[in-house]
């Protein structure tokens, strides 16, 4: 890494992290050789970054960066998480020192500084690799106008982005055509939808309303899902793309909140499916990470619908009861089994919901002898 402008060096280091991380082989817990190769690659990345960060810190105005040399591959997820945190800290400093003046009608990314036109020109290359992966703040800021960005979109993008990082290795080893709901690609689709809000040139007669497009999507015969899961909970990337393309562009200043809410709920359902799958395969760490993201998604839905978080948790409890009928029956007699339901709800709840309220709700639903609904 050549010496130069400190902010330029930091931006280069952040891009290096993103590029090297994409080259890390996926982790397959069923294959010892694969697991070792994955951990070795992670440690090699850490060592390489440790060797290059010295020049960046030396030329930085403030010596306040997280030291990568202190990171060791005690756990793969821990290392990748530490790298992500380091990168986010670096990006914040870059954004804080970035030039605020931009040309009229030009959009500049607060993460890497690239303009909107540059991103659009490189769409095929950048979007597929993840424009957002080098721009953690996910904001394209216009010079003289505000880009419509409802809070629901921001919450959904944040949740989906975190989820995509968590299940990246799971997607790589998926051997079927029906993957999860194209989280990364759907994220890009939502972003593209935001970018094309002003493009209303398509012939309205050739377009479907969002409701018509969604109805056709749900009636498509080749949508498949596991037998134990509701129909249409999982869709392919092609079907999701078709839905987004065929939905008529709105004449309002921002996307329809009902369309976005439908998409976010789809992510919620998909998360719940993969949590159950991880539990069945014994991947408790993967399930725990996805629960954290599920909590973010559920809060986004609660905020969008204007309901309390406790109501959302109650709906989630009912889903758990349906998915685990044997555990629900045993919970009326077994304290440990009741604790399992409490732990499941606590793992997705924010700190604003008292534990006593969660315990009361579980008892009310799972202990008929005490007036419960089970």
pLDDT in tens, 48-74: 665 655 444 443 333 333 344 444 434
Distance, in Å, from the CA atom of 106 to the CA atom of 293, rounded to the nearest integer, reads 33
- What rounded mean pLDDT belongs to the chain? 55
Provide the pLDDT for residue 272: 75
29: pLDDT strictly greater than 60: no
Distance, in Å, from the CA atom of 67 to the CA atom of 54, rounded to the nearest integer, reads 9
* 283-306: average pLDDT: 73
Q: Is pTM beyond 0.85 here?
A: no
278: pLDDT strictly greater than 70: yes
Contacts of 166 (CB under 8 A, 6+ apart): 286, 289, 290, 293
* Residue (of 62, 59, 110, 65) closest to 86 by Cα position: 65
Q: How confident is the model at residue 330 (pLDDT cuts 50, 70, 90)?
A: confident
Q: How confident is the model at residue 94 (pLDDT cuts 50, 70, 90)?
A: low
Distance, in Å, from the CA atom of 369 to the CA atom of 374, rounded to the nearest integer, reads 9
341: pLDDT strictly greater than 80: yes
């Amino acid at each position: 890494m050549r010496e130069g402008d400190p902010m330029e060096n930091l931006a280069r280091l952040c891009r290096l992290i993103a590029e090297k991380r994409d080259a890390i082989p996926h982790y397959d817990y069923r294959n010892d050789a694969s697991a070792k190769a994955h951990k070795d690659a992670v440690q090699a990345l850490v060592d390489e970054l440790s060797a290059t960060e010295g020049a960046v810190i030396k030329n930085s105005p403030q010596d306040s960066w997280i030291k990568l040399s202190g990171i060791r591959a005690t756990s793969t997820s821990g290392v990748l998480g530490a790298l992500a945190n380091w990168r986010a800290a670096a990006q914040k400093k870059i954004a804080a020192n970035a030039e605020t003046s931009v040309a009229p009608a030009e959009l500049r990314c607060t993460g890497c500084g690239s303009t909107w036109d540059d991103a659009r020109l490189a769409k095929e290359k950048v979007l597929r690799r993840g424009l957002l992966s080098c721009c953690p703040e996910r904001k394209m800021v216009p010079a003289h106008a505000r880009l419509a960005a409802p809070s629901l979109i921001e919450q959904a993008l944040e949740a989906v982005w975190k989820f995509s990082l968590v299940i990246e290795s799971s997607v790589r080893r998926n051997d079927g055509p029906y993957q999860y709901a194209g989280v990364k690609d759907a994220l890009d689709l939502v972003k593209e939808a935001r970018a094309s809000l002003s493009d209303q040139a398509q012939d309205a007669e050739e377009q479907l309303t969002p409701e018509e497009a969604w109805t056709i999507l749900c009636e498509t015969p080749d949508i498949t899902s596991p037998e134990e899961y509701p129909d249409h909970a999982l869709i392919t990337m092609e079907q999701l793309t078709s839905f987004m393309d065929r939905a008529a562009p709105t004449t309002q200043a921002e996307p329809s909140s009902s369309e976005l809410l439908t998409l976010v709920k789809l992510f919620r359902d998909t998360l719940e499916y993969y949590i159950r799958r991880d539990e069945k395969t014994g991947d408790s760490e993967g399930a725990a990470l996805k629960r954290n993201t599920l909590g973010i998604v559920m809060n986004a839905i609660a905020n969008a619908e204007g309901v309390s978080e406790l109501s959302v948790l109650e709906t989630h409890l009912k889903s758990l009861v349906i998915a685990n009928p044997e555990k629900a029956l045993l919970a009326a007699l077994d304290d440990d089994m009741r604790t399992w339901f409490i732990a499941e709800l606590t793992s997705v709840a924010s700190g604003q919901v008292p534990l006593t309220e969660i315990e009361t709700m579980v008892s009310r639903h799972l202990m008929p002898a005490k007036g419960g609904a089970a």
